[in-house]
A and B are shown apart, each in its own frame.
Chain A
Amino acid sequence: MAIVSAFLIPASALPCMKPDNPPWGRLADAMETAGAALAESKPDTIVVYSTGWFAVLDQLWQMRPHLQGIHVDHNWHEFGDLPFDIRIDTELTQAAIDSANEKGIKSKGVDYDQFPIDTGTIVASHFLNPNNRLPLLNTSNNLYHDWEITRDIGALVAEQAERLRRKISVVAVGGLSGSFFRHGIDISEDRISSVEDDTWNKKILALIEAGDSEALLAECPDYAAAAKVDMGFKHMAFVQGALGKQLSGGKVHAYEPVYGAGAAVVEFSI
C-alpha cells in the first residue's frame, strides 16, 4: 500500500505561534510527536489536505516546485510571522490533477509567485516536515465540495501514489467543534466553548481510538451539524477516502481548545 502513515491536525496558527500557553503548547508537543512518527514511517511525499485553503471554482492543487516566504495570519498577526519553505511533488500532484479531471472533479494546478499559502498548510509543514525534508502534495478545500467528493479526492490521491509507487503520509488539516470565543479571553483559561461540543468531540475521538470506523463514519454527519465542526469535518472525509479499508482507528495525541473551538492531533493506525 502507498500509505505509510496518516494524521489529523488542527489548522489554527496558535499552537505554532504561542506554544507558551499551556493548552496550545500541548497541541504543539503532540504535533512534534506526530512529526517524529511521520519521519519514522519513511514516506516519499506528504499529502496535505487543508481546510484553510479555500477554493471556489476548480479544485486547486499547488504546482509551484518551491515555495518560500513569510506568512502573517489574518487574525493572529500580533503573535508574529510564520516563515515557510515548502517543496512540492509536482509529478504526483499532476497525476492527481489529471485523475481528478478524468473523474469529473474539475481541477487546476496553481504555480504563481506569492500565491497565498494558508495557515493550516504552513502549520502542517512546520511541525510534520521540519527543515523541509520531504516534498508535499498540497490541495485545497473547495467550499462547494461535499463529503463524498472530498472522500473521492482523498481516494484518487492514494490511487495515483500507488500507481507511481510513492509512499505517502496523509495529513488532513482541520479543527473539531467550531464555536470559538468571539471576544477576548484570558488565554491561559482557554476551554471548549460548550459542554455539548466537548461531549461530541470526546465521543468522536473515542470512536477513532476504538477503531470502530463504521460507527465513526455513521456519526460524522450528526457531529458536523451539532458541533458546527470546522468545514463539516471534510478533512475526515479526505482521510476516509485516502485510507479506504485501512481506516481502522488511531491514537489521539492531544485534544485541546483553541480559543473555544476543538482541536486534536490524531495519528491513525496503519
Chain B
Amino acid sequence: MSEGEIVAGYLAPHPPHLVYGENPPQNEPKSRGGWEQLRWAYERARASLEELKPDVLLVHSPHWITEQGHHFLGVKQLSGKSVDPIFPNLFRYTFDLDVDVELAEACCEEAIALGLDGKMMRNPKFRVDYGTITTLHMMRPQWDIPVVGISANNSPYYLKMEEGLEEMDRLGKSTRRAIEKTGRRAVLLASNTLCHYHFREEPEIPEDMTKEHPETYEGYLWDMRMIELLRKGEVKEVFRLLPQFIEESFAEVKSGAFTWMFAAMDYPEMPGELHGYGTVIGTGNAVMEWNLIKAGLAGSGLTAIA
C-alpha cells in the first residue's frame, strides 16, 4: 500500500440554514432560498472537491459532544433522520452515509498512541449529529464518498483553552498518521463557524435576507482580520491570535475542528482560498480551502519521494 496523504482541508461551517436554502430532496422543510453568498461559496468548494477525487472525507463536528474521549463513527453504514434541536423548523434531513471504518479505527488507535482517550462508536442505532450532516451535504450532496466522523471532546471548554487546543493539535497529528498508514487520499473538513454571536430571535421569514447581517461589529472585524491572515498564509499569526479571537468573538473554532485540521496538515504557511463569507442568523461563516496538491505539498510526486 502506498503511503496515504491529506490532499486538502476545508473550513466548512454547518449552519442548517444553508441546506434549508438549497431545498435538497432530503430536507423536509422548503424555503424560497436565502444565504446565497455562502451557498455559492459551497458550490465552488464542491467543484474543487470533485477534482480532488479523495477516497474519504473526515469531518470534526462541534455538535457531537463527548465528555469522555474523542469518539469516531465506527459503523459501516448509518442512516436516519436528523432534526436540528435549535432549528427544527429548518432542518429535518434524511441521511444515509457510509463510514470508512478501517480508517476510523486507525485514527482511534493513533489518537490513543498519542496519549488521548479514543473510542469507537459501534452502536448501529446512533444518530449522526446535524453538524456533521450539514457539512457533508454542503460539500458533497451525492453522499458517494465514505466518511470518518469525529466527535468534539469538549476539552477546550472544560480545560484551560490552550490545554484543550493542545489536545486538538495532538488529535490532528494522530489523524495524519492514520491517513498515512492506511494509504488514503483524504480531505479534512473543519465544521466550524467563526464569530458565533447570534441573533436572539429568528426573523419571521428565516430566509428574508433583508434581516441578515453580522450580530456584532467587533465580531465582524475579527472575522475579516482572521480571513485576511489566512488568505495571506500567515498561519503562525492566526494561531498566535486564536485564543484572543475565540475569547472576543465567541468563535466556534474553540470546539477544536480548525486546530485539528491545521495540525493534521502540519500548519502549512500557504494562502487559503476563500470561496465565500456570509452571516447566518448573525454568525460569521467562511468557506475556505487549503489545497495541498496545488501548493505542491501533496501529490503523487511527493509520495514517490517519500
Interface residues of A (CB under 8 A from B): 53-58, 70, 72, 74-75, 77-78, 80-81, 106, 110, 112-116, 144, 180-184, 259
A sample of 20 more A-B contacts (CB under 8 A), given A77-B123, A80-B123, is: A57-B86, A57-B200, A72-B123, A72-B125, A74-B66, A74-B151, A75-B65, A75-B67, A75-B71, A77-B71, A77-B121, A110-B88, A112-B83, A112-B88, A113-B81, A113-B92, A114-B80, A115-B85, A115-B88, A259-B68
Q: Is the CB of B123 within 8 A of A182?
A: no
Residues of chain A with a CB closer than 8 A to B119's CB = 78
Q: A77-B126, A81-B123, A184-B117 are in contact. Are A106 and B201 (CB under 8 A)?
A: yes
Q: In the complex where A57-B201, A183-B117 touch, is A78 in contact with B83 (Cβ < 8 A)?
A: no
| Whole-angstrom CA separation of A85 from B235 in the bound complex | 51
A74 to B199, CA, bound (A): 27
A116 / chain B contacts, CB cutoff of 8 Å: 83, 85, 127
In the assembled complex, the CB of A110 is this many whole angstroms from the nearest CB of chain B, namely 6
Neighbour of B83 across the interface among A55, A114, A180, CB < 8 A: A114
B68 touching A81 by the CB < 8 A rule?
no
B163 to chain A, nearest CB (A): 11
Residues A70 and B85 in contact in the complex (CB < 8 Å), given A181-B68, A182-B155: no
Give the CA-CA distance A72 to B80 in the complex, in Å. 12
- Is B218 in contact with chain A by the CB < 8 A criterion? no
Complex Cα distance A183/B82, Å?
29
- Does the CB pair A54–B117 fall under 8 Å? no
With a cutoff of 8 Å between Cβ atoms, the chain B residues found around residue A182 in the complex are 67-69, 117, 153, 155, 158
Closest to A55 in B: B86
With most chain B CB atoms within 10 A of its CB, the pick from A80, A106, A115, A181 is A115
Q: List B residues at the A interface (Cβ < 8 Å).
A: 64-69, 71, 80-83, 85-86, 88, 92, 117, 119, 121-123, 125-127, 129, 151, 153, 155, 158, 198-202
Report whether over half of chain B's contact residues are helix, strand or loop; otherwise say mixed.
Answer: loop
Instruction: Contacts A72-B127, A106-B201, A114-B81 given; indicate if A56 touches B68 (C-beta within 8 A).
Output: no
Q: A144–B80 Cα gap in the complex (Å)?
A: 30
- The smallest beta-carbon distance between B160 and chain A, in angstroms, is 13
Residues on A with C-beta less than 8 A from B126 are: 72, 77
Alpha-carbon gap, A75 to B121, bound state (A): 9
A75 and B66 in contact (CB under 8 A), knowing A114-B81, A114-B83, A115-B88?
yes
Q: Name the residue on B nearest A261 (C-beta).
A: B67
Identify the closest chain B residue to A228 (Cβ): B158
Residues of B within 8 A of A55 (CB): 85-86
Bound-state Cα–Cα, A58 to B89, Å:
13
**Does the CB pair B69–A184 fall under 8 Å?**
yes
A72-B126, A78-B119 known; A183 vs B68 contact (CB < 8 Å): yes
User: Chain A contacts of B68 at CB under 8 A?
Assistant: 75, 180-184, 259
Contacts of A56 in B (CB 8 A): 86, 198
CA distance A78 to B75 in the complex (A): 12
Q: How far is the CA of A74 from the CA of B127 in the complex (A)?
A: 8
**With A55-B86, A180-B67 known to touch, is A144 a contact of B121 (CB < 8 Å)?**
no
Question: What's the nearest-Cβ distance from chain B to residue A263, in Å?
Answer: 14
Tell me the smallest distance from the CB of A239 to a CB of chain B, in Å.
24
When distances are taken between beta carbons in the complex, the residues of chain A under 8 Å from B71 are 75, 77
In the bound complex, residues from chain B placing their C-beta under 8 Å from that of A115 are: 83, 85, 88
CB distance from A101 to the nearest CB of B (A): 12
Residues from chain A with a CB closer than 8 A to the CB of B65 are 74-75
Q: How far is the CA of A84 from the CA of B155 in the complex (A)?
A: 30
Among B85, B88, B117, B201, max chain A CB count under 10 A is at B85
The 10 A-B residue pairs with the shortest CB-CB distance in the complex, in nearest-first order: A77-B123, A114-B81, A72-B126, A112-B88, A75-B66, A114-B83, A115-B83, A116-B85, A56-B86, A72-B123
Is B202 within 8 A of A57, CB to CB? Answer: yes
**B239 smallest CB distance to A (angstroms):** 24
Residues of B within 8 A of A106 (CB): 201
User: Roughly how many angstroms separate A54 CA and B71 CA in the complex, as a whole number?
Assistant: 21
CB of A241, distance to nearest CB on chain B (Å): 22
Bound together, the chains give a CA A57 to CA B203 distance in angstroms of 11
User: How long is the Cα–Cα vector from A167 to B129 in the complex, in angstroms?
Assistant: 37
Q: Are B66 and A81 interface neighbours, CB within 8 A?
A: no
Contacts of A70 in B (CB 8 A): 125
- Could you show 29 A-B contacts with beta carbons less than 8 Å apart? A54-B85, A57-B201, A57-B202, A58-B201, A72-B125, A74-B64, A74-B66, A74-B129, A75-B66, A75-B68, A75-B71, A77-B121, A77-B122, A78-B122, A78-B123, A80-B123, A112-B83, A113-B81, A113-B92, A114-B80, A114-B81, A114-B82, A115-B85, A144-B200, A180-B67, A182-B117, A183-B117, A184-B117, A259-B67
B85 contacts which chain A residues (CB < 8 A)?
Answer: 53-55, 115-116
Bound Cα distance A55, B202 (Å): 13
A180 to B68, CA, bound (A): 9
Which residues of B lie under 8 Å from residue A114 when comparing CB positions? 80-83, 92
